[in-house]
Amino acid sequence: MTSKRTLNVFLLAMINVAAITSLKNYPLTAVYGLSSLFFFLFSAVVFFIPVSLVSAELATGWPQRGVYIWVKEAMGPRMGLLAIWLQWIENVIWYPTVLSFLAASSAFIFDPALAHDNRYIVSIILITFWVATFLNCFGMKISGWISTVSVVLGTIIPGALIIFLGFLWIEEGYPLQITFGWDQLIPDLGSINELVLLAGILLGFAGMEMSAVHAKEVKNPQKGYPKAILLAAIIILALSMIATLAIAIVVPKHEINLASGAMEAFTHFLNAFKLGWAIPIVAFFMALGALGTMSTWIVGPTKGILATAIDGDLPPFFQKTNKHGMPTHLLVLQGVIVSLLSLVFLFMPNVSSSYWMLVDLTALLYLIMYILMFVAAIVLRYKCPEVKRTYRIPGGNAGMWIIGGIGTVGCFFTFIMGLFPPSQLQTGNMLFYYSFLIGGLVIFCVLPFIIYQLKKPSWKQKSEKDY
């Protein structure tokens, strides 16, 4: 039965804006100052728009279970398992970063100095994640309620406020920490170490493959979907650029803490305007926003990997669900991995360097998944031409090659850049830095192949119909 097409261009654009926009991402880009605008535009052209268009075609052709089916249909079950595994594990590695943002923001409620205390950050990460995991075991109702409230109070309102304060700061003639000029727009493209943070910027635009499932609900999707993507891209880019510059103009480049940069900017703004009493209030809502973001994602990707487990790609132990339908064993495994990864904060020089290492590993794994998705989209044009796509990238197979090719090259280029340590941050012991990064890539990419090799027919205990 055909689903009712009820989404107009504006509504779909707003869904995408809500899924992508986050204050957590802006301190990372603010390090670049005015040249952050260049990186935002670059990321939109080589990543954000290609991901949006390709995932829309795939989602309207193969709406069931997303990237797992797309890659499996194109390149076989091993690569399909790798793709869904990467989508799950990158989220697991990402959790400590959003929780460190929560910890750093909440520090401003009590003592801002705690935002730079690695032990405090680790403690908050562990306590918050395990409490959230416990609550999610009781079903999605509590999680959904928390997410709805926190997105409005913890992301939309603070985002609008920091932009307003930025304009007011300039209007009142306060000193600026960056120089506005055409010569400041282009970064030093000859320095690899200057370009490394691009991986983190691209990560801030990731996730469009999740919202692409709504493409089939758009009125006249062939024309409506690209219009919605263009509108969403304009809104997301505008908000990201303005909010990033709001941080960059008030916090000196070398003082930006990647986890607490947004709150540091609020502190500068509110103290200057004699509103210092509001700092703990803003900090509370920022922490609430981070909690909502994490709560939204804590179950979704886990249910995705659960579907592949039920298909027989993971041992029966990981197929276990409780009476609320929650994958308890996978949630516990996820919690153990998050706990181990959060310990990186104890081995790096400061919170920013720890934050970056986790963001970088997350981005590199996610980029591999996106490369698989782009290649799958091209392959499926030839392998399954008969499958009806409600939305198709214009220009026939040539159009797919252009869009998919741009996305693949953009991801590959950014992946190579992400292997180098950034010049903007202290990375401490280089042996530990590369061991963590390369070791993480190898372990998390090889594991699904080992699991697939050990797979037994008895693992498939339920049919997809049962699920």
At CA 208, angle to CA 15 and CA 51, rounded to 5?
A: 140
**The predicted structure's pLDDT at residue 312:** 81
Residue 218 φ then ψ, to 5°: -85, 140
The per-residue pLDDT of the chain, averaged, comes to: 84
Environment class of residue 352 by beta-carbon count within 10 Å: exposed (0-12), middle (13-18) or buried (19+)? buried
**The predicted structure's pLDDT at residue 464:** 46
List, in order, residues 6 or more apart from 312 with CB less than 8 Å away. 455, 457, 459, 460, 461
Judged against a pLDDT cut of 90, whether residue 165 lies above it is answered with yes
List C-alpha distances in Å: 14 to 214, 230, 354, 376: 12, 12, 33, 28
| Residue with tokens 């793709």, as numbered in its chain | 83
Average pLDDT over residues 134-148: 62
Domain ranges in the chain are 12-459
Average pLDDT over residues 428-451: 90
Q: Which of 164-173, 192-201, 290-299, 446-455 has the lowest mean pLDDT?
A: 290-299
Average pLDDT over residues 99-103: 89
Band of pLDDT at residue 234, cut at 50, 70 and 90: confident
Cβ contact 121:351 at 8 Å: yes
Q: Which of 11-20, 242-251, 333-342, 400-409 has the lowest mean pLDDT?
A: 11-20
Where is pLDDT greater, at 252 or 217? 252
Give the residue among 224, 307, 165 at the shortest CA–CA distance from 16. Answer: 224
Distance, in Å, from the CA atom of 216 to the CA atom of 301, rounded to the nearest integer, reads: 21
Average pLDDT over residues 41-50: 90
**The predicted structure's pLDDT at residue 467:** 41
For 345-354, what is each residue's pLDDT tens digit? 888 878 888 8
Q: 393: phi > 0 → left, psi -120 to 50 → alpha, else beta; which?
A: beta
Band of pLDDT at residue 446, cut at 50, 70 and 90: very high
**The predicted structure's pLDDT at residue 216:** 66
Instruction: Tell me the whole-structure pTM to 2 decimals.
Output: 0.85
Residue type, 21: T
CATH (residue range 12-459): 1.20.1740.10
Judged against a pLDDT cut of 50, whether residue 2 lies above it is answered with no
**The predicted structure's pLDDT at residue 126:** 93
Cβ contact 430:285 at 8 Å: no
